[in-house]
Structure 1
Amino acid sequence: MIKLTLVLGASLKEERYSNRAIKKLKANNISVVAIGLKKGVIAGVAIDTEKIPYENIDTVTLYLNPKRQEEYYSYIISLQPKRVIFNPGTENMEFVKLLQENNIESEIACTLVLLATNQY
Protein backbone atom coordinates (compact mmCIF):
# COMPACT_ATOMS: atom_id res chain seq x y z
CA MET A 1 0.00 0.00 0.00
CA ILE A 2 1.40 3.36 -1.06
CA LYS A 3 1.14 6.11 1.53
CA LEU A 4 0.20 9.42 -0.04
CA THR A 5 0.73 13.02 1.01
CA LEU A 6 -1.98 15.48 0.01
CA VAL A 7 -0.77 19.04 -0.52
CA LEU A 8 -3.83 21.21 0.04
CA GLY A 9 -3.49 24.74 -1.30
CA ALA A 10 -1.11 23.83 -4.13
CA SER A 11 0.03 26.75 -6.29
CA LEU A 12 1.57 26.82 -9.75
CA LYS A 13 3.60 29.87 -8.68
CA GLU A 14 7.17 28.67 -8.17
CA GLU A 15 7.85 31.06 -5.29
CA ARG A 16 5.01 29.59 -3.20
CA TYR A 17 5.90 27.18 -0.42
CA SER A 18 3.25 24.69 -1.54
CA ASN A 19 4.99 24.49 -4.92
CA ARG A 20 8.38 23.99 -3.27
CA ALA A 21 6.92 21.34 -0.96
CA ILE A 22 5.57 19.29 -3.87
CA LYS A 23 8.99 19.35 -5.53
CA LYS A 24 10.78 18.42 -2.28
CA LEU A 25 8.33 15.61 -1.49
CA LYS A 26 8.85 14.17 -4.98
CA ALA A 27 12.64 14.55 -4.64
CA ASN A 28 12.37 12.49 -1.43
CA ASN A 29 10.40 9.75 -3.25
CA ILE A 30 7.19 10.53 -1.38
CA SER A 31 3.98 9.95 -3.35
CA VAL A 32 2.04 13.20 -3.71
CA VAL A 33 -1.41 14.34 -4.77
CA ALA A 34 -2.42 17.99 -4.77
CA ILE A 35 -5.48 20.23 -4.67
CA GLY A 36 -5.36 23.90 -5.62
CA LEU A 37 -7.41 26.65 -7.21
CA LYS A 38 -6.02 26.10 -10.73
CA LYS A 39 -5.35 22.92 -12.65
CA GLY A 40 -1.77 22.36 -13.68
CA VAL A 41 1.24 20.14 -13.11
CA ILE A 42 4.16 20.56 -10.70
CA ALA A 43 7.06 18.09 -10.89
CA GLY A 44 4.79 15.56 -12.58
CA VAL A 45 2.02 15.98 -9.98
CA ALA A 46 -1.35 17.00 -11.42
CA ILE A 47 -3.17 19.62 -9.37
CA ASP A 48 -6.83 18.79 -8.88
CA THR A 49 -9.37 21.53 -8.21
CA GLU A 50 -12.05 19.31 -6.64
CA LYS A 51 -12.25 17.34 -3.40
CA ILE A 52 -11.20 13.93 -4.73
CA PRO A 53 -11.91 10.98 -2.38
CA TYR A 54 -8.29 9.83 -2.39
CA GLU A 55 -7.44 6.60 -0.61
CA ASN A 56 -4.42 5.83 1.58
CA ILE A 57 -3.71 9.45 2.54
CA ASP A 58 -1.05 9.33 5.23
CA THR A 59 -0.41 13.07 5.57
CA VAL A 60 -2.28 16.22 4.62
CA THR A 61 -0.01 19.26 4.52
CA LEU A 62 -1.93 22.54 4.60
CA TYR A 63 -1.14 25.70 2.67
CA LEU A 64 -4.49 27.41 3.26
CA ASN A 65 -5.17 30.13 5.80
CA PRO A 66 -7.52 29.15 8.65
CA LYS A 67 -10.58 30.83 7.09
CA ARG A 68 -10.10 28.95 3.80
CA GLN A 69 -9.63 25.66 5.66
CA GLU A 70 -13.21 25.63 6.97
CA GLU A 71 -14.71 24.29 3.74
CA TYR A 72 -12.24 21.37 3.89
CA TYR A 73 -12.80 20.23 7.51
CA SER A 74 -15.20 17.36 6.77
CA TYR A 75 -13.36 16.47 3.56
CA ILE A 76 -10.00 16.08 5.33
CA ILE A 77 -11.59 14.13 8.19
CA SER A 78 -13.29 11.83 5.65
CA LEU A 79 -9.88 10.95 4.19
CA GLN A 80 -8.80 9.65 7.62
CA PRO A 81 -5.15 10.70 7.29
CA LYS A 82 -2.66 9.70 9.96
CA ARG A 83 -1.70 13.36 10.43
CA VAL A 84 -2.30 16.91 9.27
CA ILE A 85 0.61 19.35 9.10
CA PHE A 86 -0.19 23.01 9.72
CA ASN A 87 2.55 24.94 7.91
CA PRO A 88 3.47 28.47 9.08
CA GLY A 89 0.48 30.79 8.69
CA THR A 90 -2.04 27.94 8.64
CA GLU A 91 -2.24 27.32 12.40
CA ASN A 92 -5.87 26.72 13.38
CA MET A 93 -6.72 25.52 16.90
CA GLU A 94 -10.40 25.01 16.02
CA PHE A 95 -9.40 22.51 13.33
CA VAL A 96 -6.75 20.91 15.56
CA LYS A 97 -9.49 20.21 18.11
CA LEU A 98 -11.75 18.66 15.43
CA LEU A 99 -8.90 16.47 14.24
CA GLN A 100 -8.20 15.30 17.81
CA GLU A 101 -11.88 14.41 18.22
CA ASN A 102 -11.52 12.22 15.12
CA ASN A 103 -8.27 10.57 16.26
CA ILE A 104 -6.15 12.34 13.64
CA GLU A 105 -2.75 13.67 14.67
CA SER A 106 -1.90 17.28 13.97
CA GLU A 107 1.48 18.91 13.81
CA ILE A 108 2.30 22.61 13.68
CA ALA A 109 5.47 22.48 11.62
CA CYS A 110 6.99 23.27 8.25
CA THR A 111 6.94 20.46 5.70
CA LEU A 112 10.11 21.81 4.05
CA VAL A 113 11.98 21.84 7.38
CA LEU A 114 10.73 18.36 8.28
CA LEU A 115 12.00 17.06 4.94
CA ALA A 116 15.34 18.88 5.24
CA THR A 117 15.97 17.43 8.71
CA ASN A 118 14.75 13.89 7.89
CA GLN A 119 11.83 14.19 10.32
CA TYR A 120 9.04 13.87 7.77
Structure 2
Amino acid sequence: MKNTTLVLGASLKEDRYSNKAIKLLDSKGVNVKAIGNRQGRVNEVEVVTEKIMFNDIDTVTLYLSAKNQVIYYDYIISLNVNRVIFNPGTENSELKNLLEKNGVKTELACTLVLLSTGQY
Protein backbone atom coordinates (compact mmCIF):
# COMPACT_ATOMS: atom_id res chain seq x y z
CA MET A 1 0.00 0.00 0.00
CA LYS A 2 1.24 3.46 -0.88
CA ASN A 3 1.28 5.67 2.20
CA THR A 4 4.23 7.97 1.69
CA THR A 5 4.13 11.71 1.04
CA LEU A 6 6.79 13.42 -1.08
CA VAL A 7 7.49 17.03 -0.15
CA LEU A 8 8.69 18.69 -3.36
CA GLY A 9 10.48 21.97 -2.72
CA ALA A 10 11.67 20.96 0.75
CA SER A 11 13.69 23.53 2.67
CA LEU A 12 16.17 23.04 5.48
CA LYS A 13 15.20 26.49 6.81
CA GLU A 14 13.06 26.24 9.95
CA ASP A 15 10.76 29.14 9.02
CA ARG A 16 9.69 27.66 5.66
CA TYR A 17 6.29 26.02 5.30
CA SER A 18 7.80 22.99 3.57
CA ASN A 19 10.03 22.46 6.61
CA LYS A 20 7.03 22.75 8.96
CA ALA A 21 5.08 20.32 6.75
CA ILE A 22 7.84 17.71 6.91
CA LYS A 23 7.90 17.95 10.70
CA LEU A 24 4.10 17.80 11.04
CA LEU A 25 3.74 14.90 8.58
CA ASP A 26 6.47 13.04 10.45
CA SER A 27 4.87 13.73 13.86
CA LYS A 28 1.52 12.39 12.54
CA GLY A 29 3.17 9.10 11.54
CA VAL A 30 3.18 9.73 7.78
CA ASN A 31 6.19 8.34 5.89
CA VAL A 32 7.94 11.34 4.34
CA LYS A 33 10.38 11.70 1.45
CA ALA A 34 11.72 15.14 0.55
CA ILE A 35 13.37 16.74 -2.46
CA GLY A 36 14.87 20.22 -2.27
CA ASN A 37 17.71 22.41 -3.52
CA ARG A 38 20.01 21.52 -0.62
CA GLN A 39 20.83 18.14 0.81
CA GLY A 40 20.40 17.67 4.54
CA ARG A 41 17.95 16.57 7.20
CA VAL A 42 14.75 17.85 8.72
CA ASN A 43 14.36 15.85 11.92
CA GLU A 44 14.91 12.27 10.76
CA VAL A 45 13.79 12.96 7.18
CA GLU A 46 16.56 13.07 4.58
CA VAL A 47 16.24 15.85 2.01
CA VAL A 48 17.76 14.84 -1.32
CA THR A 49 18.38 16.89 -4.45
CA GLU A 50 17.87 14.20 -7.12
CA LYS A 51 14.66 12.92 -8.69
CA ILE A 52 14.71 9.48 -7.07
CA MET A 53 12.22 6.93 -8.42
CA PHE A 54 10.33 6.20 -5.21
CA ASN A 55 7.73 3.47 -5.67
CA ASP A 56 5.53 4.04 -2.61
CA ILE A 57 4.44 7.69 -2.99
CA ASP A 58 0.72 8.30 -2.45
CA THR A 59 0.76 12.10 -2.26
CA VAL A 60 3.05 14.82 -3.59
CA THR A 61 2.75 18.12 -1.75
CA LEU A 62 4.18 21.05 -3.70
CA TYR A 63 6.22 23.91 -2.27
CA LEU A 64 7.54 25.23 -5.60
CA SER A 65 6.31 28.17 -7.66
CA ALA A 66 4.65 27.28 -10.97
CA LYS A 67 7.76 28.13 -13.01
CA ASN A 68 9.91 25.89 -10.81
CA GLN A 69 7.50 22.97 -11.18
CA VAL A 70 8.04 22.56 -14.94
CA ILE A 71 11.18 20.41 -14.59
CA TYR A 72 9.20 18.02 -12.36
CA TYR A 73 6.13 17.42 -14.59
CA ASP A 74 7.30 14.12 -16.08
CA TYR A 75 8.85 13.04 -12.79
CA ILE A 76 5.61 13.51 -10.82
CA ILE A 77 3.62 11.61 -13.44
CA SER A 78 6.20 8.80 -13.52
CA LEU A 79 5.78 8.29 -9.75
CA ASN A 80 2.20 7.11 -10.38
CA VAL A 81 0.82 8.97 -7.36
CA ASN A 82 -2.79 9.22 -6.20
CA ARG A 83 -2.88 12.96 -5.50
CA VAL A 84 -0.93 16.18 -5.70
CA ILE A 85 -1.53 19.01 -3.24
CA PHE A 86 -0.95 22.54 -4.53
CA ASN A 87 -0.16 24.57 -1.42
CA PRO A 88 -0.90 28.33 -1.41
CA GLY A 89 1.37 30.04 -3.93
CA THR A 90 1.95 26.90 -6.02
CA GLU A 91 -1.23 27.03 -8.10
CA ASN A 92 -0.56 25.88 -11.68
CA SER A 93 -3.40 25.11 -14.08
CA GLU A 94 -1.04 23.60 -16.68
CA LEU A 95 0.27 20.98 -14.25
CA LYS A 96 -3.18 20.47 -12.71
CA ASN A 97 -4.66 19.66 -16.14
CA LEU A 98 -1.75 17.38 -17.04
CA LEU A 99 -2.10 15.46 -13.78
CA GLU A 100 -5.86 15.08 -14.12
CA LYS A 101 -5.45 13.77 -17.70
CA ASN A 102 -3.16 11.13 -16.16
CA GLY A 103 -5.73 10.14 -13.52
CA VAL A 104 -4.12 11.99 -10.61
CA LYS A 105 -6.37 13.80 -8.12
CA THR A 106 -5.35 17.39 -7.44
CA GLU A 107 -6.15 19.55 -4.45
CA LEU A 108 -5.68 23.28 -3.90
CA ALA A 109 -5.08 23.18 -0.18
CA CYS A 110 -2.62 23.77 2.62
CA THR A 111 -0.96 20.58 3.86
CA LEU A 112 -0.49 22.11 7.32
CA VAL A 113 -4.22 22.92 7.60
CA LEU A 114 -5.26 19.51 6.26
CA LEU A 115 -3.04 17.79 8.84
CA SER A 116 -4.09 19.96 11.76
CA THR A 117 -7.81 19.51 11.01
CA GLY A 118 -7.61 15.74 10.43
CA GLN A 119 -8.50 16.01 6.73
CA TYR A 120 -5.19 14.77 5.36
Shorter-chain TM-score: what band?
A: over 0.9
4+ aligned runs moved over 2 Å, structure 1: none
Q: 1:67-86 residue pairs with structure 2 within 5 A?
A: 67-86=67-86
Q: Over aligned residue pairs, what C-alpha RMSD do you find?
A: 0.7
Deviations 1:15-37 (A, max 9, x none): 00000000000010000000000
TM-score normalised by L of structure 1: 0.98
State the alpha-carbon separation in 1 of the partners of residues 35 and 85 from structure 2.
15
Q: 1:28-39 residue pairs with structure 2 within 5 A?
A: 28-39=28-39
1:56, distance to aligned residue in structure 2 (A) = 1.4
Give 1:70's aligned amino acid. Answer: V
SS at match of 1:89: coil
TM-score normalised by L of structure 2: 0.98
Alpha carbons 1:2, 1:31 under 8 Å: kept: no
Deviations 1:57-113 (A, max 9, x none): 100000000000000000000001100000000000110000011000000000000
- Residue number in structure 1 paired with 2:117: 117
Alpha carbons 1:6, 1:33 under 8 Å: kept: yes
> Where does structure 1 lack aligned partners over 5 or more consecutive residues?
none
- Residue number in structure 2 paired with 1:25: 25
1:2, distance to aligned residue in structure 2 (A) = 5.0
State the alpha-carbon separation in 2 of the partners of residues 2 and 106 from structure 1.
17
Q: Calculate percent identity across the aligned residue pairs.
A: 59
- Residue number in structure 1 paired with 2:12: 12
> Where does structure 2 lack aligned partners over 5 or more consecutive residues?
none
